[in-house]
A = this chain, B = another copy of it.
Amino acid sequence: MKIHNSQIMKIIEITASLALAAALAAGCCKPQAAEFNNSISSPDGLLTVSVGLAEGGAPVYQLCRDGKTVVAQSRLGFELTDGTKLCNGFTITDVAYGSKDEVWHPVWGEERDIRNHYNEMTVTFEQMPESSIKPQSGVSVTDPEYTGDPGNSSGKGAVMCVRFRVFDDGLGFRYEFPQKNKLRYFNIKEELTEFAMAGDHTAWWISGDYDTQEFNYSRTRLSEIRATSESMRLQNASTTGFSPTGVQTALQMKTDDGLYINLHEAAVINYPTANLDLDDKRLVFRTWLTPDAEGVKGRLQAPCVSPWRTVQVCDDARKVLASRLILNLNEPCAIEDVSWIHPVKYMGVWWEMITGRTQWCYTWDLPSVQLGVTDYSTLKPHGQHGANNANVRRYIDFAAANGFDALLIEGWNEGWEDWFGCQKDYVFDFVTPYPDFDLPALNKYAHEKGIRLVMHHETSSSTVNYERHMEAAYELMNRYGYDAVKSGYVGNIIPYGEHHYSQPIINHYQYAIEQAAKHHVMVNAHEAVRPTGICRTWPNLIGNESAMGNEYRVLINPGHTCILPFTRLQGGPMDYTPGIFEQDMSITAPGQHGKMRHTIGNQLGLYVTFYSPLQMAADLPDNYERFPDAFQFIKDVAVDWEKSIYLEAEPGKYIVTARKPRIETLNSGRLAGKSGAYEFVFKDGKEHDVWFVGGVCGEHAHEAKVALDFLTPGVRYEATLYADGPDADYESAPQSYTITRSVVTSADTLTVQMARSGGFGLSLRSL
């Protein structure tokens, strides 16, 4: 929530390569209208950002890769609500260079070692004092309690620094407002940052919105966004579009000559979330911030920094997946003792509610309820309440028997009778169970079986109410040994007029994460803002939804899961809730209809292609019991990794990923000792060399070539392949799969057929 002086005061070690950077910059694509006097290049010299002033003292930048324009001349700056324009009248008064090359270790992640390697340039733009700046406060106050002098001003004009960091895989830049400044408290009317595209690229996008990201993706040319946008929007629980050419980040694009460009942001702290709005005549994206209830798009106090604006640039789709640009631009871990944070493989009393087999609520006796007033013990239960003691015990037994760490239970607490669509403020208290949910006894039962229960805090988007009860809610969790919470933000936000992505609500999510950390609670926030790498700084944020997940069932387009790792997952892990083996809704929930569009092989592949330290086996125990051999892969697969290799990738088409489990995690006691992955790796009490490979594909079938050269040479591995069956097809035979075991070495290459919307899982264990 707070922006620390240390964040902008931090002195970057200046190590080397300044001369190199300047030399490389000279060979870059030609500047356009402006004079770009200041440039810096990536460590490999391919990517160069150039910065200067256009006519009228307007700050601009451009980005080139190997002589090709990635972002043509684009403006920088802001317009403030008081009429101040921070987009012209500037001179450049300082340019500072630096660089960094370090390796850091995430608490959990796709790899143990992450290299953070960049060159940096910070450009100071300064307006003359009294130029276009209006006074900060024109309030004439007569109430005598307001006589305090707020302090001297510095005599400086408006100062805006822009810090550029150029990595081999992309650019990050952010605005910084130092304390010595005409600007003290200032409100953003518009952020003017632009991204001028050099061509009518292909893009994978979802429509811009202030409240939801839960849409199917479109793949179109930029020029086709306007015509497609409306038809791709769903009427979700809270939906607020703003423009037919508005799109969300991370936005994945591909140029006609094969460059992958991805626009996103990093470290959105105390600032609204950005969408992008496309000027589709000029193909220029402008930053479109989420307004608050008064229409203000950000309230800042100097000294402060903006989030990083990012332009990831890769010449291979696999490099997009391997990029750690967003994480690298976030601050290091802020939690000193991280011993309580651990990956989680879990099940849930949840899918049966999502599908309508059971209910979150307890009774239909009353048209509305009042917490603390309604006496549930006097009401007639409707008999379809999912979170009842017997049912939960059944899930605990199943989860324990199959090597899971945890079990989520939704609908356990009073208030679900009228929680949705009423904008009810005092909707849940987060501590009072329904009469048929014996919270202490169920936790005791679960703990005896090596299972942790996962708490559920649906807020109904009343953040005011959630904050009032948060401390007691976390205390209840501590008392009974819950160490993770799934929070939810369904519906329109209270405070009224705010949005899921406006600054005050961004601050709420951050507040919830930080308060949870104090209680050693891990957070998996659904319907909250899409992540921007904050999990590096706050690794107790182990998951987010913020995209259309499996719960959308029959609405999900094939190929969806081949897009999300390029877009949504760039900012952090997603609780996609994979593992749905029964596609036919009428079987899972009698009376429902429709079929999900994926094969069982596809669902297995997701455990590897979708990185998350929190992985669910989302289907019902009944459904898993029907496919015990396929379920074995879910039992075996790990959720935290030493190393990841992206074998094949193309947005929307296919992804094949190989990952090596992080043995340190399995051994650390941070996971239950009996976890399935531990059992798999430590078979017969001996540590084996293990890899997992997963593949998914989109609307079209795909033949994956899995070269096993990542295995240790000379070692023989038992390979178990869970693949789509020969006749598998998401429409005609979604449950067709074959399981084959073989012995392989690093010299082998496996050919795996993936059906339409299919996939596979592959486990490899040294003999």
- Chain A contacts to B: CB under 8 angstroms: 1-5, 137, 139-154, 179, 184-185, 214, 234-237, 292-294, 296, 299, 301-302, 353-356, 359-361, 364-368, 370-373, 416-426, 464, 467-468, 471, 488, 490, 494-498, 504, 507, 511, 551-553, 555
Contact = CB atoms under 8 A, between A and B. Distances in A.
A2 B488 contact: no
Contact of A234 (B1, B143, B488, B495): B143
5 contacts: A150-B367, A150-B422, A151-B417, A296-B496, A471-B471
Nearest to A361: B148
Given A293-B496, A372-B2, A416-B148, A235 B139 contact: yes
Nearest to A359: B148
Question: A139, A365, A371 — which one has the most chain B CB atoms within 10 A of its CB?
Answer: A139
A152 B369 CA distance: 12
Nearest to A458: B145
A373 to B, nearest CB: 5
A676 B2 CA distance: 48
**CB-based closest 4 A-B pairs:** A495-B495, A293-B497, A185-B422, A294-B496
B142 A235 contact: yes
Contacts of A236: 141-143
Contacts of A504: 425, 464, 494-496
A146 B498 contact: no
B368 A185 contact: yes
A491 to B, nearest CB: 8
A576 B5 CA distance: 42
Contacts of A214: 143
Contacts of A426: 1-2
A586 to B, nearest CB: 15
Contacts of A146: 237, 420-421, 490
Question: A301, A361, A424 — which one has the most chain B CB atoms within 10 A of its CB?
Answer: A301
Contacts of A302: 367-368
A562 to B, nearest CB: 22
A214 to B, nearest CB: 6
Nearest to A150: B418
B417 A150 contact: yes
A503 to B, nearest CB: 9
A754 to B, nearest CB: 27
Contacts of A471: 471
Contacts of A359: 148-149
Contact of A150 (B2, B148, B370, B420): B420
Contacts of A149: 359, 361, 364
Contacts of A185: 368, 418, 422-424
Given A146-B420, A147-B353, 19 more contacts: A5-B370, A137-B421, A139-B421, A144-B355, A144-B553, A145-B354, A146-B237, A147-B356, A149-B359, A151-B364, A151-B365, A179-B368, A184-B367, A292-B496, A293-B497, A299-B425, A301-B422, A302-B367, A496-B504
Contacts of A468: 467, 511
A489 to B, nearest CB: 11
A148 B424 CA distance: 15
B151 A423 contact: no
